Amino acid sequence: MRESGGHASGNQQPVSVRERAVATVPVDALHYNADTAGHFRKFLGRFFYLGMSLLVAVVVIFGFSHTIGTNLLHPDRPRPLILHFHAIVFSGWVALFITQSALVRTSRVTLHRSLGMFGAMLGGLLPFLGITTAVVMQHWHGSQDGAGNAGLSLPFNDMVTFSIAFGLALYWRRRLEFHRRLMLIATCCLTGAAFARFPENVVPENAFYACVDLLVLLGVVRDLLVARHVHVVYRYGLPCMIASQATAQYLMLAAPSPWLAITHRIMQWTA
């Protein structure tokens, strides 16, 4: 006869350390943890996009609060009128994004679609207004301090990326899972200028695009937690975003002669 506590006899299998640890956890605690995780996933599924719209608003308000006084409210020199118009339209887009997210959350789909027509016009205006404002402000800065033109790569990239994401969101407006992710990407693309105005101890110089990508990565995390897989929009969209951002920053920082020749021609045409 073997003493109790010795080796397992017959068909009895040894109990692993992990199984012993789990066995010591009360059943109620396991149920509580499972219920908590389930509630958290349900909360993310319901309120993620509304929360992201509010987060974007916080980023925009905080970022531009550092420059709005000197650039718009109390400038040392009068700024071009288009800069004021751009600020109004851009603010309107952020407000519309919050409103549309809230309408979806409250199941007011009819009003959401009605406002969608206005959103389509506003979103179609934004790229043209953004590029025009960038060129006009470049002329203004050039007339004041002779600034170079290589930095035009940043607003050009933001507007092109926004246009692609927004255009695809309109095309797939009846495919909710595509539409809302593309609208999130499109809106996040507009936050680069706000992140660039954060204090450097918060966002280091030239790290603003990384912050934009982190916003989109929150959508990836949400997918992993709620759907247990990453949606195809993020799988293709985020790498394309990063590649275009890297190209834009290279053109700004390295200022290769072919890019400077292009920007010089643009400035000549728009003079």
Question: What is the C-alpha to C-alpha distance for residues 103 and 106, in angstroms, rounded to an integer?
Answer: 5
Tokens representing residue 209 in the block: 């695009």
User: Would you state the pLDDT for residue 5?
Assistant: 46
pLDDT by position in tens, the chain (length 271): 444 444 444 455 555 554 554 455 565 554 556 567 677 788 778 889 999 999 999 999 999 998 888 888 788 888 899 999 999 999 999 999 999 999 988 888 888 888 888 999 999 999 999 999 999 999 988 755 545 789 999 999 999 999 999 999 999 999 999 999 999 999 999 999 999 999 999 999 999 999 999 999 999 999 999 989 999 999 999 999 999 999 999 999 999 999 999 998 999 898 8
Residue 134 Cα distances to 131, 141, 152, 263, 270, angstroms: 5, 10, 7, 12, 11
Closest by CA to 158, choosing from 231, 249, 79, is: 249
Contact between 118 and 246 (Cβ < 8 Å): no
User: Would you state the pLDDT for residue 13?
Assistant: 54
User: Domain-by-domain residue ranges, the chain?
Assistant: 47-269
Question: What is the C-alpha to C-alpha distance for residues 81 and 64, in angstroms, rounded to an integer?
Answer: 18
DSSP SS3 for 26? coil
| Cα dihedral across residues 250, 254, 257, 261: positive or negative | positive
Question: pTM higher than 0.75, yes or no?
Answer: yes
User: Would you state the pLDDT for residue 7?
Assistant: 46
